[in-house]
Structure 1
C-alpha cells in the first residue's frame, strides 16, 4: 500500500472518534498556541513510522471495514463493542492513535514544568526547577565530569507517569517522542529547537520514565507492541547499506521507558489499590478521557479527582486534554413528564475547576478558610494541532482540535 499524505482536515477531536465540523481558517484558530515549540517534522515522521511498523500486517483489505465498524460503535457510544476484539482495537490504534500521538508529543514538549522537573532531576548541571538554570559558568571538563556523575546518580531511578484511558497507545508513543527531545540523541535537524528550550542544558538524558497506562478495555498487547517499537531500532531492508545499518537506532534507549498496563475501570478502583499507582506520580494524564468518565458517572469522577488530591504529592501535575466546546459537556438530570425535572449541561472545564480549585480545598480543611490544594498553571479552550503536509502514512489522518488544562498539586 502506497504511503499517503495525512489529510488536511478540520476534524474535531472527540472522546473517541472525531466528528467533522465546519471549516475554520488558520486566522480564526491558530494551529498552535503562541510561543509554542514545534516538534520537528523528522521526529513526527519517526513516530508515524512506529505505528506503521507495529501494525504493518493490519494495512490490508480488511482494515477499511474494521475502521467503519469501529466508527459506528463509537458513534453509538457502544465502547464495549468498539474495543471488544483485538482486531477492532488494532484498527482504532492504526487509525486514530497516530495523529493523537503527534499532537500529544507537542503538548508534552510545551509543558515547561514537566520538562524542568525531568531534566533538573538528572543533576545540578540542569538547574533548579523552581529557580531556573544555574547561573555559574563551567568549563568543558567540569561540565563533562558533572554529567558523568549525574548519569551515575540517576541510574536506577525513575519518574512515574500515570495515563488514565491510555490503552490505544498514543500517550506511550508521545512520551517516547518527548523523551527523545529531552535526550542527548536528537533526531537530525532538531538540536537547534531543543537548545532554545528555557536555557536548559542537554548534556545527558533525563531519568527513565515509568509509565502506568490504565484502561477498561484489554489494550495490553497494543501498548506492549508499541512500547517495544519505541525502544527498538526500526526494521531495515535486507538490502540496506552498511552505513544505513550503522546509523539505525531506536527512538529512545531500551531502558529509558518502563511500561505497566493495568486493565481496570478507574471509576470502580478500590481505594486500597490507588496508592500503589498514584502516590508518587510526577504526572497524571487524562487525554480525551475525562468527558467520558463524567458521562459515565459524574459523582464517581468527582470522587476520583478528590482521591487524586489526597494521593498525589506536592508538585505533581495533572494534565487534561479533551474535545473543545460543546463536544465536552456533561448532562445532569433527566427530563421527566411526571415531575418536570430538566437536564442541565455543564462544561467539563467548569466541573474540573470546581472540583479541584473549590471542592478539594473545602474537603481538605475543617476551617472556614480552606487552603488551596491545586493551582491552575495553564488553560487553552480551543487549539489546533495540524499535521505537516510532508508526513507520510499508509492511510489518511486528520488534524486535531482540543482543549488543554494543566494543574499542579500544592
Structure 2
C-alpha cells in the first residue's frame, strides 16, 4: 500500500499550498510545447522557525536539474500537449480533494497527468536528499554480482560499475528519476530499484525509463558536435528498474524477505525509501497495521541497510487513534516512527537465538525547504524551465541504519534505563 502524493488545490499560504495528499497505499489552459518559467515564488511563512535548513540548487547542479525536467517533458510530451490536459488535471485534483483515490489513480492516463504535474519537483527534491546522504549511501555500493555487502570495492577502469540496490515503498515516477539523477552525478555507479505501489504505474515507469536511457530528441539540423554530445541521462546498462503493483500493508514476512534478502550475513544491504508514503500508511492502515509492516520490514532488512523516510512536516503528518471527539488522540508521525523502529533495540537476544535487526538513527530533520531557483532579473541563465509552473516544497527527513542486535547491547541499554 503505497500511494502517490499531490498538491492540494487550495488558495492557502504557500507552505500549505505545496502539501500533498497521497492516495491510500492499499488501494489552466492547455500547455504549449515551449517551456515556461518554473518557479512560483513561495516565500517563507511567518511561523517558519529560524535556522531552518533550505536546500537551494547550486549553480553547478542547475544543468543536471534542467535535464531532469527535460526527462519529464519528453516522457510526457503527448500528455502535456493534449487539449484535454487541463480537464484531466482538474479531474485528478477533484478526485484527490474528494479523497476518491481509486478514481484518481485507476488508469495510466490519470497517472501520466499526475506524474507530469507533480513528480518533477519531487524528483528534484529527492535527488537533493540523496546527494545530502551520499556518505551513508557509499557504504551500500557493491560490485555487480557481488552480494557480500561489505561496500569496500576499489573501482578500476576495467571493473564493472558499482551498484546501489533500492526498494522504494510507494515509489513511482519521482523516485525513479531521483535515483537516475544520483546515478548521473556518479557515473561509475549503477542502480537496481524496485518500485512498489498499489497503483498501475507500469506504463509511466516504462515511459520514464525510455526517456532516461535514450538521447533526447534533437533537431535534424543540429551540428555533428551537438549530435555527438546528445547522450542519454543515464546509460541503459546503469539503470535497472522493476515495478511491482502491490499493497505494502498486505505483504507477508516471506515476501518482504524475498524483496530485501533477509537479515543474513551475505545479503546485500539496500536503501529502503518511504517518500511521502509513511503518513498515508498510518492514515489508511491505522497504527496497528503500519506498526506490523514496519516490524516485518525490520526483520527482513539486511544489516547495513538504510531506511530513508521523507514526508510532510509538522501537523500534516499525524496519525489518529481512538474514536471521535475528545477520545481521539493524534500522534506525530516522527514520534511513532522512532517508537517503533528504535524500540526494536530493546528486544534482548535470548540464549542461542540468532541476533535480529535493530535500527540506529543517523540523521533527522523536522523541517526543510527545497527551493527552486527563482530566476529573477539578471538571472535568466539560472532559470529552470518546464511547461508548468512548479512550487517549492517543505518536508521532514529521517535516516536509519539496520544493525545486528546483540545480547550485550540489550543488557547495556537496559542498564542505562532505556
Look up the match of 2:369. Answer: 384
Where does residue 161 of structure 1 map in the other structure? 166
Q: Tell me what 2:175 maps to.
A: 171
What TM-score comes out, normalization by structure 2 length? Answer: 0.76
With 81-90 and 322-331 compared, the bigger mean Cα shift is at: 81-90
Compute the displacement of 1:241 (Å).
1.9
Whole-Å Cα distance in 2 between the matches of residues 392 and 76 of structure 1? 31
Report the counterpart of residue 157 of structure 2 in structure 1.
Answer: 148
Instruction: State how far apart, in whole Å, the 1-side matches of 2:270 and 2:356 are.
Output: 22
Match of 1:67 among 72, 89, 107: 89
Pair 1:182-2:174 in alignment: no
1:52 pairs, out of 41, 61, 73, with 73
Aligned residues: 348
Task: Give the conservation status (yes or no) of the 8 Å contact 1:283–1:317.
Answer: yes
Checking the alignment, whether the CA contact within 8 Å between 1:37 and 1:110 is kept in structure 2 is no
Q: Supply the distance in 1 between the matched residues of 2:193 and 2:348 (Cα, whole angstroms).
A: 28
Is the counterpart of residue 288 in structure 1 residue 276 in structure 2?
A: yes
In structure 2, the CA distance between the partners of 1:62 and 1:30, relative to structure 1 (3 Å rule), is farther
Alpha-carbon offset, residue 77 of structure 1: 2.0
Question: 1: distance between equivalents of 2:390 and 2:307?
Answer: 28
1:94, CA displacement in angstroms? 0.7
Shift in Å, 1:278 = 1.6
Matches within 5 A, 1:62-211: 62-117=84-139, 147-149=156-158, 151-152=159-160, 158-167=163-172, 169-183=173-187, 205-206=188-189, 208-211=190-193
- CA deviation map 1:51-78 (0-9, x unaligned): 0000000123221222222122222222
Name the structure 1 match of 2:258.
Answer: 276
Unaligned runs of 5+ in 1: 1-7, 123-127, 135-145, 184-204
SS where residue 249 of structure 2 aligns?
A: helix
Q: Judge conservation of contact 2:141–2:163 (CA < 8 Å) in 1.
A: no
1:255 aligns with 2:277: no
Asked if 1:222 is matched to 2:207, the reply is no
Structure 2 unpaired stretches of 5+: 1-12, 24-40, 145-149, 262-267, 375-382, 404-418
Counterpart position of 1:401: 394
TM, length-normalised to structure 1: 0.77
Q: CA deviation at 1:159?
A: 3.1
Query: Given the alignment of the two structures, is residue 310 of structure 1 paired with residue 293 of structure 2, yes or no?
Result: no
- The residue that corresponds to 1:42 in the other structure is 63
Q: Does 1:233 align with 2:226?
A: no
Q: Which one of the candidate residues 354, 359, 362 is aligned to 1:374?
A: 359
Instruction: Specify whether residues 376 and 38 from structure 1 end up closer, same or farther in structure 2 by C-alpha distance, changes over 3 A only.
Output: farther
Please name the residue that 1:344 is paired with: 329
Contact 2:123/2:177 (8 A) holds in 1: yes
Change (3 A) 1:334 1:397: same
Per the alignment, residue 212 of structure 1 pairs with 194
Question: What secondary structure, in the 3-state scheme, does the structure 1 residue paired with 2:366 have?
Answer: strand
Q: CA deviation at 1:30?
A: 4.6
Q: Which residue is 1:361 aligned to?
A: 345
